[in-house]
Amino acid sequence: MARTSTFSLLFGGFSVLAAARRCQNLTVEVDISARNGVFDIETPVTDIDVTDFIFEMGTQGRNYSDEHLTGYTTVSGTYELAATYCEPDNKTSDVLQIMSHGVGFDRSYWDYPVNNWNYSYTKVAVDDYGYSTFTWDRLGIAESSRGEPINEIQSWLELAALEKLTNMLRAGEVDGLEDKHFRKIVHVGHSFGSIMAYSMTASNRCISDGIVLTGFSHMGAYMPYFLFAGTFVRANSLAPLADYGDGYIAPAVVSAAQTNLFAPGMYDPEVLNIAFERGQPAAVGEFLTLGMRAGEPSSFNGPALVITGDRDLPFCGGDCSASGDSGLDSLLDLSAEFLSQASPFEAYVVPGAGHGMGFEYSHAEVTGKILDFLVQNGLAAH
Ligand SMILES: *[C@@H]1O[C@H](CO)[C@@H](O)[C@H](O)[C@H]1NC(C)=O
Ligand SMILES: *[C@@H]1O[C@H](CO)[C@@H](O)[C@H](O)[C@H]1NC(C)=O
Ligand SMILES: *[C@@H]1O[C@H](CO)[C@@H](O)[C@H](O)[C@H]1NC(C)=O
Ligand SMILES: *[C@@H]1O[C@H](CO)[C@@H](O)[C@H](O)[C@H]1NC(C)=O
């Protein structure tokens, strides 16, 4: 008797909570290889070296990467990627979202604990829309394998890692997730993670069923704003990042995160402070290869959404609506030409929001827009 009522109480409790995401951390071993660039650049070992590097990278009219590219080499290895898989309480979704974070973050970007997970994209995607999600720390960053920061940890190797992860997840080859089978796989990125998702699908359109590029545009001209606003120093000169080797760099002050991620009047200052305190570095090799295939047209023919804050600094110079072309509603529409086969293609400018729009008051609009776009375009979770 007592037992029965306890059972029904518990059961009732669960029903009221509805689906709560169930997450597990994984370490995924990947064998990958990539054609990396070889650069004749010394690893910066002082903050003066770091600033000189950023100065050279951001100088107008030049291409510092190209000037120091001496050739290409194949980098191969076995690496460990730290990842988190989540699914609704009741069941594995038939649609998996693979999410790749940008510079300055780790995989927790998608499931931020701030304000009781109020900013979490994963929480809404899993609990309210029923998706399964997979996030990973970029190769070289946070809890994933580190590496030599100039000629090894480059975008090309990270792209190979994302490709490998995707294929393993599709084939049920990830240890701990062998019993999960997904009908569709969607790729969502933020910033550098969006460049990665775009680059991966540009030449290999079958690898993804849908792409969502957040904090992204095809306008490269404002990248120096990001570099110079970043006040980069050696990551290991900052206490929370002391375990990184030389060649990893990170913003020295909270104002750098503010300028690059947050638009005036759009955020809780406490979230800014936390984003800075939890910030992760990037490797010099990533900066040297940041663009990947962003400049090449894509053959991707599935649904593609570009969603970016109107005040995005790195991708719009602080004003996406000022396209300088009466034929373009915003700089985001530049992507329509690159993604000419996407079906459909949609560009969505988030009013007032900055580059880190998921951490601003706009987060609900951003999350809702992305998930509704997927639902409306044949990628609803079942
Ligand atoms: C599980 O699924 C059933 C039927 O769809 C639903 O009524 C119930 O609320 C779900 N429970 C949880 C914990 O999500
Ligand atoms: C997964 O790892 C992260 C980072 O180490 C940790 O904060 C989190 O609590 C872990 N989650 C689970 C479900 O174990
Ligand atoms: C700089 O050169 C690299 C290597 O040749 C190339 O991939 C990249 O697109 C160039 N960047 C710009 C902004 O032109
Ligand atoms: C969660 O976010 C919404 C929308 O920005 C906001 O109205 C609400 O106050 C937030 N709740 C918490 C606990 O921060």
Nearest protein Cα to ligand 4, atom 13: 115
Q: What's the pLDDT tens digit per position in 29-46? A: 999 999 999 999 999 999
pLDDT at 248 over 90: yes
Q: What is the pTM of this model?
A: 0.93
Tokens of 301: 């023919």
| Averaged pLDDT for residues 133-143 | 98
Instruction: Name the residue of 22, 23, 25 to mutate for ligand 2: max ligand atoms within 8 A of Cβ.
Output: 25
What pLDDT shows up at residue 323?
Answer: 95
Q: What's the pLDDT tens digit per position in 318-355? A: 999 999 999 999 999 999 999 999 999 999 999 999 99
Domain parsing of the chain, residue ranges: 29-376
What pLDDT shows up at residue 18?
Answer: 58
Q: What's the pLDDT tens digit per position in 187-225? A: 999 999 999 999 999 989 999 999 999 999 999 999 999
What pLDDT shows up at residue 91?
Answer: 85
Distance 26 CA to ligand 1 centre (A): 26
At 6, the pLDDT band (50, 70, 90 cuts) reads very low
Is there an atom of ligand 2 within 6 Å of 26 CB? no
Q: Which fold has domain 29-376?
A: Rossmann fold (3.40.50)
pLDDT at 307 over 50: yes
Listing DSSP states for 214-239 in one string gives ES--S--TTHHHHHHHT-EEEGGGSG
Is there an atom of ligand 3 within 6 Å of 52 CB? no
pLDDT at 285 over 50: yes
pLDDT at 13 over 60: no
User: Mean pLDDT, the chain, as a whole number?
Assistant: 94
Is there an atom of ligand 2 within 6 Å of 142 CB? no
Atom of ligand 3 nearest to the CA of 223: 13
Q: What's the pLDDT tens digit per position in 352-370? A: 999 999 999 999 999 999 9
Helices (H), the chain: 2-17, 47-58, 64-67, 114-117, 121-123, 155-170, 192-203, 223-229, 254-261, 269-277, 284-288, 313-316, 334-338, 363-376
CA distances from 150 to 36, 276, 304 (A): 10, 24, 32
| Averaged pLDDT for residues 265-276 | 97
Q: What's the pLDDT tens digit per position in 65-84? A: 999 999 999 999 999 999 99
Is there an atom of ligand 1 within 6 Å of 40 CB? no
Cβ-Cβ contacts under 8 Å for 372 (sequence gap 6 or more): none
Contact 312, 319 (CB under 8 A): no
pLDDT at 170 over 80: yes
Instruction: Name the residue of 84, 105, 117, 280 to mutate for ligand 2: max ligand atoms within 8 A of Cβ.
Output: 84
Q: What's the pLDDT tens digit per position in 179-193? A: 999 999 999 999 999
At 380, the pLDDT band (50, 70, 90 cuts) reads very high
Is there an atom of ligand 3 within 6 Å of 65 CB? yes
Distance 9 CA to ligand 3 centre (A): 62
